[in-house]
Amino acid sequence: MRIAYSGTTLAADGFLAPPRDLGLNGQQLVQTVQLPRALYTLFLSRGNRSVDFTFTVERFFDTAADAAYFELTHQNDLPDTGLFIVQCADDDDPSLNLRLTGPAFQGVSFAAGSLKGQSLLVSYHFVGSVFLPTTISISPGADPESTYYPELGVTVKKNYLTLLAGATSAAITFASPYEGSPQVYVELIPVSGQPIVGRALRGQATNTGFIVDFAAPLPVDGYVLSWIAFGT
């Protein structure tokens, strides 16, 4: 199983362990009707369905200090909302892909004792409407192609992100940060038959990632943001 949110793979690929302790609490509004002299109480479903989704991932770091820093700052790494995809199959079978509609990032938590040396248990909490089938797949990881060129002293990272209709921006977080601010180049590839939409970096990329703004809301699902970063 893979789980990705706003272009960042949170579980499975790129990590030593798959997601565990998955929890899902679904609910909707239910009206209680008690009629005079009725034998039973009547319950009426009134919609407004929602799900509360949680999971835990074990992350590993080069040093205990890196793990502690991640624990204290990771809450700031993820945006309030974004594309949330769960890929249930490990063989990239798109028929088992799901998208959480109307997702919102609730937060991350670290239970007491979750930091053990260079490993850390991270619990993620998201809320949304419902999970629906989707053909959108998760790319192999946040940095599926990360290559170091010793003759240049440069690390090149590149990836792509499939976007949903209505998106006005996209946030990219590197799986492993650069030491300094990298140079980033992006391309927004339109869906066949759909208009070209302008894009621009929001300010300068940082060592942990960057944000791309679109000139207009994307008209349909399936636009692809392709990016490449060069840095040390």
∠ CA 192-194-197, rounded to 5°: 115
Q: Which residues in the chain are classed under CATH 2.40.30.200?
A: 1-140
Per residue in 92-130, pLDDT (tens digit) is 667 788 989 888 999 999 988 778 777 888 999 999 999
Give, in words, the CATH class of 1-140.
Answer: mainly beta
- Name which residue leads in pLDDT, 171 or 138: 171
Mean pLDDT, range 62-87, rounded to an integer:
86
Count of residues for the chain? 232
User: Which residues share a beta bridge with 26?
Assistant: 51
Weakest-pLDDT range from 88-92, 108-112, 131-135, 211-215: 88-92
Q: Which helix (H) or strand (E) holds 64?
A: helix 64-73
How many angstroms separate the CA atoms of 67 and 54, rounded?
A: 21
Report pTM: 0.58
Instruction: Report the topology of domain 142-232.
Output: Immunoglobulin-like (2.60.40)
**Residue 136: predicted pLDDT:** 73
Q: Give the single-character DSSP code of 6.
A: T
Q: Which residues in the chain are classed under CATH 2.60.40.2080?
A: 142-232
pLDDT at 175 over 70: yes
Per residue in 143-157, pLDDT (tens digit) is 455 677 777 788 888
Per residue in 17-38, pLDDT (tens digit) is 578 889 999 998 888 988 888 8
